[in-house]
Chain A
């Protein structure tokens, strides 16, 4: 598409009211009751001048530019705050209105610098548009009076500037911060002519304030007061392409706005079903990594990992790769080879990698990064409900009465959905937070959780069983729902189990450290408070009982009747953008696409007929098993697309040992990541801006990823995988990812109705999309569970084997921060580092004082597995006995410390519980120094191609 601003109807859409018909300048228009006159006029095809109105904000009525005349009404009401009425006759263009509007515009312009030709918003400015609309030709007041033209600009934020000289005090930025983002960082300071936008206290600039740089204020600003630095530097965009964000599992859609081939800005797409025109600092601004100098654009190979890299042609790299893969297969057998698909890549790319492993390598040794995040979700929800996915769409939260957040920190990890959740909380929904840390949702502006169960890490199952105990023993269960929808016998077994006195909150308090009365109150609220919705994250799954916790959550939803309609459900908040999709695509070693077991002969036969090869009927190795097998010598070659297992997976020493033991490691990525230190082949990858395909977000929503620019490395990632396959002798000939999706749809019942053409036409589809659900499935299990009867599973609390003791008395739990993403490969290469330039260790004041630690001290973090050093942040966000850090920086590598304990069912690592000791340090650990040296050595690239 060319460049046109996104349509703005002035006030939010109203739904559900009876139809009302009115005329606007003689044009008849029918809208729902409650709609504003301004919106009705816009829908009728006429635009009323406006400055303070925007259709993602509540009407404000301050700019006095949108005045109209209405037959039978006196005066000139503001159209934004006037609701429509049946038979109303509205006039938007009259001599009286023209005079009034011109007068208002004169006042605005008298305090506005007339530097339009050099202004960054020139020709993209609503004030300019409004002046043109009202026919402003003169300003009677002159420019000699008091004004704000000398106000200093605030350039502290790395992505946008605030120039108060251009501010018209419309409050759109303040209202966007409140209504859209829910942070309340901005305010109007002063009164009357002294009114000015302020970020926090008068002494704060934007960077020092509570602003989270979501960009909502920038998007809302009608002038150049808040404008992207990139627009200032590059100029107004000329064209726009709608695509899907490649950061978290919310799956925001954006307009990539370009000037020529240069990306100017990413603007959230108002029609996006997941984000409704909102964004966070990562998706909105942190795309600079795409052109970072560290990006590798040429293929490289080396015989051994102690050699420098050698740049080669694509042909040579592919030939070398295929020859070595084929040789290893010939010598050690198919099961010596495997691959890892990426949750950062498209569905089509994940599908091709697993196809390459199964059909080309001949093994089922394919896994994905969901192994280390949401694999327990797959196991737990398939076991209880019958489908390995969440039950709701995001909008469902707006019908929730009680929201329970367990082991998730949405304001940091899923910020756009968190804003929607906070909107619902401000409307009055109740909140229960179950988390060892006092996350922002416990208490932040206009949000206050009713209950915060600050449990001991590792005791999720005990807490949820105790809640179930309260619900069952206090007769709060929804037995009608259970009798109708679930297996009654299994329910009775489960109910007897949880009702046992040993599962009471009072008994389990010794384990969970959650006061029994608080837990009882939370359970009662969830069972009786109306629609109860559960949202959870990696604080649930990354435990030795991750799968049990997911099943305990499902039990809790079923016993309270909170499944199968809007406002309820079980909602895993997926970490990476395409975790759901990569799992859907058959990335697990025991499953083909659509979660069908590899041992099922009829499913296997479908694929064998389509692919023309026989498939191994036995499950393959999971990532940790691959590493074990590599050390033991039976696993020899690995193709890793878009993941960095050395940094992201637990016990870095063991990962390194596994990788080092392999004969061939192929890394297909944007950068020489940490895993590439152990690689023999590097295949340059493409960014999400450079490819076509689809992502599937946490609500099972499949959305198109559209190529915005040509791949700097020459090829989209699916093309590279196809080239490897062809070099190995496979007869693949896909011309476009649409053809890959056609194959996926052909072979996967839940995707039967999905095609790129349909996605382009309809915007998105939520699987299953098939004969039974031709338009997709925003809510699942509506008329019954996918598996038939919902299954209650007895989930006994089994303590982790990771124990604290005198040597390691504290519990470490790890997580994420708003400005960084996963291993940081992308966000560390953007200006987001101004908010988080290193991982820090949060430690409670009591624990810090006992060790003589103050904020900023370098501390040694040691476990039974390893040790690292990082800086301390003393804070009561963590409970006594608990410390917390992130894993975004390879210099720290928190996973040197984490253990290999993992979920019993899926081997998802127990990142959230590691016994550690913290002490003052005077420098990097020996491991850090050694690793830095080895990484630098490994990343050497020969200056000239070898003969």
Chain B
């Protein structure tokens, strides 16, 4: 598993106690706030199946750096 996949799943898992909707939004926001564009590009390129449900939903909210 690549490092960005592990990180996305770990972030999602730590937001899980907030409830699913909040966890998805906060995971996406966290990635936007703290990740370098190439890391975002890398997570957008992975097979979504390797992501947890929350992380997958969060990644869907991300957009690549123009």
A20 proximal to B (CB < 8 A)? no
Interface 9-residue window, one of A603-611, A614-622, A681-689: A614-622
The reply to whether B11 and A905 contact each other, CB–CB distance below 8 Å, is yes
Choose one: B3, B14, B18, B33; the contact of A548 (CB below 8 Å): B14
B30 proximal to A (CB < 8 A)? yes
Q: Hey, which chain A residues are within 8 Å of B11, CB to CB?
A: 904-905
Choose one: B14, B36, B37, B38; the contact of A905 (CB below 8 Å): B14
Known: A618-B65, A628-B3, A905-B30. A335 touches B36 (CB 8 A): yes
The digit string for A837-849, where 1 denotes a CB below 8 A from any CB of B, is: 0000000000000
The reply to whether A629 and B38 contact each other, CB–CB distance below 8 Å, is yes
In the bound assembly, the distance between CA atoms of A224 and B3 in angstroms comes to 61
The reply to whether B13 and A904 contact each other, CB–CB distance below 8 Å, is yes
In the bound assembly, the distance between CA atoms of A380 and B33 in angstroms comes to 15
A601 proximal to B (CB < 8 A)? no
Choose one: A634, A795, A798, A907; the contact of B13 (CB below 8 Å): A798
The reply to whether B36 and A798 contact each other, CB–CB distance below 8 Å, is no
In the bound assembly, the distance between CA atoms of A566 and B59 in angstroms comes to 44
In the bound assembly, the distance between CA atoms of A618 and B62 in angstroms comes to 13
Choose one: B14, B30, B35, B37; the contact of A798 (CB below 8 Å): B14
Give the number of chain B interface residues (Cβ < 8 Å).
18
The reply to whether B18 and A794 contact each other, CB–CB distance below 8 Å, is yes
A426 proximal to B (CB < 8 A)? no
A796 proximal to B (CB < 8 A)? yes
In the bound assembly, the distance between CA atoms of A795 and B10 in angstroms comes to 14
Query: Which chain B residues numbered 16 to 58 have a C-beta less than 8 Å away from chain A?
Result: 16-18, 30, 33-39
Query: Which chain A residues numbered 369 to 388 have a C-beta less than 8 Å away from chain B?
Result: none
The reply to whether B33 and A619 contact each other, CB–CB distance below 8 Å, is yes
A597 proximal to B (CB < 8 A)? yes
The reply to whether B3 and A620 contact each other, CB–CB distance below 8 Å, is no
The reply to whether B14 and A365 contact each other, CB–CB distance below 8 Å, is no
The reply to whether B33 and A497 contact each other, CB–CB distance below 8 Å, is no
A589 proximal to B (CB < 8 A)? yes
In the bound assembly, the distance between CA atoms of A619 and B37 in angstroms comes to 7
Known: A618-B65, A628-B3, A905-B30. A545 touches B14 (CB 8 A): yes
Q: Hey, which chain B residues are within 8 Å of A262, CB to CB?
A: none
The reply to whether A625 and B17 contact each other, CB–CB distance below 8 Å, is no
In the bound assembly, the distance between CA atoms of A335 and B10 in angstroms comes to 26
Q: Hey, which chain A residues are within 8 Å of B35, CB to CB?
A: 619
A544 proximal to B (CB < 8 A)? yes
Query: Which chain A residues numbered 792 to 806 have a C-beta less than 8 Å away from chain B?
Result: 794-796, 798
The digit string for A577-604, where 1 denotes a CB below 8 A from any CB of B, is: 0000000000001100000010100000
* B61 nearest CB across to chain A (Å): 16
Choose one: A544, A548, A625; the contact of B36 (CB below 8 Å): A625
In the bound assembly, the distance between CA atoms of A545 and B13 in angstroms comes to 11
The residue in chain B whose Cβ has the minimal distance to the Cβ of A793 is B18
Q: Hey, which chain B residues are within 8 Å of A364, CB to CB?
A: 36
Q: Hey, which chain B residues are within 8 Å of A599, CB to CB?
A: 33
The reply to whether B34 and A590 contact each other, CB–CB distance below 8 Å, is yes
In the bound assembly, the distance between CA atoms of A497 and B13 in angstroms comes to 16
* B59 nearest CB across to chain A (Å): 16
In the bound assembly, the distance between CA atoms of A794 and B14 in angstroms comes to 10
The reply to whether B3 and A621 contact each other, CB–CB distance below 8 Å, is no
Total A-B residue contacts, Cβ distance less than 8 Å: 52
The reply to whether B33 and A590 contact each other, CB–CB distance below 8 Å, is yes
The reply to whether B17 and A621 contact each other, CB–CB distance below 8 Å, is no
Q: Hey, which chain B residues are within 8 Å of A634, CB to CB?
A: 38
Q: Hey, which chain A residues are within 8 Å of B18, CB to CB?
A: 794
Q: Hey, which chain B residues are within 8 Å of A622, CB to CB?
A: 34
- Interface-central residue, A497, A794, A904, A907, by most chain B CB under 10 Å: A904
Q: Hey, which chain B residues are within 8 Å of A798, CB to CB?
A: 13-14
Q: Hey, which chain B residues are within 8 Å of A625, CB to CB?
A: 36, 39
The reply to whether B16 and A796 contact each other, CB–CB distance below 8 Å, is yes
The reply to whether A618 and B10 contact each other, CB–CB distance below 8 Å, is no
In the bound assembly, the distance between CA atoms of A622 and B10 in angstroms comes to 17
- Interface-central residue, B16, B17, B65, by most chain A CB under 10 Å: B17
In the bound assembly, the distance between CA atoms of A226 and B11 in angstroms comes to 56
Known: A628-B3, A905-B30. A619 touches B36 (CB 8 A): yes
In the bound assembly, the distance between CA atoms of A628 and B35 in angstroms comes to 13
* A829 nearest CB across to chain B (Å): 36
The reply to whether A597 and B33 contact each other, CB–CB distance below 8 Å, is yes
In the bound assembly, the distance between CA atoms of A712 and B49 in angstroms comes to 58
In the bound assembly, the distance between CA atoms of A544 and B33 in angstroms comes to 19
The residue in chain A whose Cβ has the minimal distance to the Cβ of B33 is A590
The reply to whether A796 and B17 contact each other, CB–CB distance below 8 Å, is yes
The residue in chain A whose Cβ has the minimal distance to the Cβ of B10 is A904
The residue in chain B whose Cβ has the minimal distance to the Cβ of A626 is B36
Q: Hey, which chain A residues are within 8 Å of B33, CB to CB?
A: 590, 597, 599, 619
Q: Hey, which chain A residues are within 8 Å of B34, CB to CB?
A: 590, 619, 622, 905-906
The reply to whether B17 and A794 contact each other, CB–CB distance below 8 Å, is yes
The residue in chain A whose Cβ has the minimal distance to the Cβ of B17 is A796
* B53 nearest CB across to chain A (Å): 16
Known: A618-B65, A628-B3, A904-B10. A365 touches B17 (CB 8 A): no
Known: A628-B3, A905-B30. A618 touches B37 (CB 8 A): yes
* A222 nearest CB across to chain B (Å): 57
Q: Hey, which chain B residues are within 8 Å of A795, CB to CB?
A: 17
- Interface-central residue, B13, B16, B34, B38, by most chain A CB under 10 Å: B34
Q: Hey, which chain A residues are within 8 Å of B39, CB to CB?
A: 621, 625
In the bound assembly, the distance between CA atoms of A1 and B65 in angstroms comes to 56
In the bound assembly, the distance between CA atoms of A213 and B3 in angstroms comes to 45
In the bound assembly, the distance between CA atoms of A618 and B35 in angstroms comes to 8
The residue in chain B whose Cβ has the minimal distance to the Cβ of A365 is B36
Q: Hey, which chain B residues are within 8 Å of A794, CB to CB?
A: 17-18
* A551 nearest CB across to chain B (Å): 10
The reply to whether B36 and A621 contact each other, CB–CB distance below 8 Å, is yes
* B6 nearest CB across to chain A (Å): 8
The residue in chain A whose Cβ has the minimal distance to the Cβ of B41 is A634
- Interface-central residue, A548, A589, A618, A906, by most chain B CB under 10 Å: A618
* B3 nearest CB across to chain A (Å): 5
In the bound assembly, the distance between CA atoms of A794 and B19 in angstroms comes to 10
* A897 nearest CB across to chain B (Å): 20
The residue in chain B whose Cβ has the minimal distance to the Cβ of A547 is B14
* A795 nearest CB across to chain B (Å): 8
Q: Hey, which chain B residues are within 8 Å of A907, CB to CB?
A: 7
* B24 nearest CB across to chain A (Å): 15
**Which of B's residues lie within 8 Å of A, judged by CB?**
3, 7, 10-11, 13-14, 16-18, 30, 33-39, 65
Pairs A–B under 8 Å by Cβ, sample size 9: A589-B36, A618-B65, A619-B36, A795-B17, A796-B14, A796-B16, A798-B14, A904-B10, A905-B34
Apart from A796-B14, A798-B14, what 6 extra A-B contacts exist at CB < 8 Å? Answer: A335-B37, A618-B37, A619-B34, A621-B38, A900-B3, A904-B11
The 9 closest A-B CB pairs, nearest first, are A796-B17, A904-B14, A904-B10, A621-B36, A794-B17, A618-B37, A904-B11, A628-B3, A590-B34
